[in-house]
Structure 1
């Protein structure tokens, strides 16, 4: 972890007497403040704060560490930086993580455009369906499709993701076609481990419906469920960007046209708004414009 940022966090905690106040002034999540403090105590090899229900106070080791941190920050502030236009130029490596399907459908194209626009940057794209610890994994930006972000995360919504209920013609020939959302209870529904495993939500005639579903296959990768759906294993709720080409090719059939599945937000998650590197700020702005300006990616993949 960055020692300068850790020092800023520790000074803010000491001066304001609480981690919540430090998080607010630094525009960080409380979880990030806690991690930076824990790392500072690891470096110091001692407990730096007395913790009580009312207020935090410094230990003897904390007093010494506070003096060193202030000196370190003064030295950092004294370092001259280059011209502002050069300092604001996006450059350097960005480590980004997202799901495999989103990487294929959108990020491959969006990141390629970004790299052409900002030739002094590079991107390491980590494909992972699990939520990762951004600090421990040294991730600059995580992209997640969800409507249930943890409240302590710092995130920016970049776009929206539509979904579709679908099944293979062979499955429908054998099991029949559901005509209402309630009919899904009688079908083998393939579910995504990390989202809506047992409850699918729809908008129908201006009302919200929550439909319990079940089946004999769940997975933590939606492309696996998509392949199983094509093979006739059951009914699945898929991102439109993944299913649309297969629907157009006749390999899948879109179901329940009068029921609109809940739309999900595409969020960019990062560790702090303070001193954001120009490359990361430029990437967030680029992705926001890319999703808004490429509506056809929903149906045809990146493009």
Structure 2
């Protein structure tokens, strides 16, 4: 390939990158605003220019060839460099300004981030924020998002990961439900109760507990309502349907108002979804003032919090043992 001949296939490189990331010509075409056939032609042109096959196409899936995997890594670097180039003016500006696109899971965005965004916007009047509320994992590089909050114990490689807060799960029920049913003093007492669990996996109803000075306890619970969304489980608990497991940040307002009460508060609930909230971003994002001030604002606001006392809580909270899908 000649010295400048790569210039004519820059769009093809971007198309190939999106096709490889999404594993589909149709999905990439939707993202890029073109037809699937146009996306396919662009990838074929790139393969012709480079002189190697980049994708193995079958009726069911697309796979990167060995040279395709190398090209994918280089094209990803290219997009990162392009994004960094677009931010040069911001990097040399002393005053944060412009739009920051921030993605976070629904419950966490509403219960934890949103209250802190209002103060941030007042403090930085020239910075705008687009809060993208999505429960799926968003790739900030592929989808053009500046910052991503993810609740997990295993931040992905290739991104800077800063820990925002621990995520603790608790059990709760309404005072009315607790008054009408048998007392719960030990995890085994849950066997006589309707327990509201996730139901994503068969072991989601295997609840484990630990208490200092006592043996660990484990029970297999059952209940009338199962949902993989924490706010739905809380609403079910508020309707007196049983004992719900939810993240502390979801239940904090209802706890504070007395609408629900902690169950087995002297036991540590060791469900499958303890973890941490992380803010993720490509390495070049922190150098942009508008992103840096938002990252610092959230790190400062959430330091030491597990969300159990509500937004802005600074109560000391040690990190719990953790597993993925912390925000379910």
> Residue 104 of structure 1: CA displacement?
2.9
Structure 1: where are the runs of 5+ without partners? 11-30
Partners of 2:104 and 2:148 within 8 A in 1: yes
User: How far apart, in 2, do the equivalents of 1:171 and 1:130 lie?
Assistant: 33
2:135 is aligned with 1:129: yes
In structure 2, list runs of 5 or more residues that go unmatched: 1-5, 29-38, 57-64, 314-328
Equivalence for 2:225: 217
Distance 2:310 2:77 in 1: 54
SS at match of 1:192: coil
d(CA) in 2 for partners of 1:142, 1:193: 26
Counterpart secondary structure, 2:101 = strand
Shift in alpha-carbon separation, 1:252–1:208, aligned structure 2, 3 A: same
Q: Does 1:298 align with 2:305?
A: no
The answer for the alignment partner of 2:162 in structure 1 is: 156
| 1:197 matched to 2:207 | no
Q: Alpha-carbon deviation of 1:282?
A: 2.9
1:167, distance to aligned residue in structure 2 (A): 1.0
Report if aligned partners of 1:129, 1:221 keep a CA contact under 8 Å in 2: no
User: Which residue of the partner structure matches residue 174 of structure 2?
Assistant: 168
Change over 3 Å in CA distance of 1:157–1:300 after alignment to 2: closer
Aligned position for 2:293:
282
Measured in 2, the distance between the counterparts of 1:300 and 1:69 equals 39
| Structure 2 CA distance for partners of 1:128 and 1:36, relative to 1, 3 Å | closer
Deviates further, 95-104 or 133-142: 133-142
Partner of 2:316: none
Alignment coverage as a number of residue pairs: 269
CA deviation string 1:97-156 (max 9, x = no partner): 223332233212222232233332211112233334545544332323333x36547332
CA distance in 2: counterparts of 1:209 and 1:145, whole angstroms: 26
Return the alpha-carbon distance in structure 1 between the equivalents of residues 264 and 237 of structure 2. Answer: 16
> Where does residue 322 of structure 2 map in the other structure?
none
1:35 to 21, 30, 33: 21
Two-structure CA RMSD over aligned residues (Å): 4.8
Q: Please say which of residues 209-218 and 41-50 is displaced more in the overlay.
A: 41-50
Distance 1:286-1:202 versus aligned 2 partners, 3 A rule: farther
Residues 1:236 and 2:244 are matched in the alignment: yes
**1:182 and 1:292, CA in 2 relative to 1: closer, same or farther beyond 3 A?**
same
TM-score scaled by length of structure 1:
0.67
Name the SS for the 1:197 alignment partner.
helix
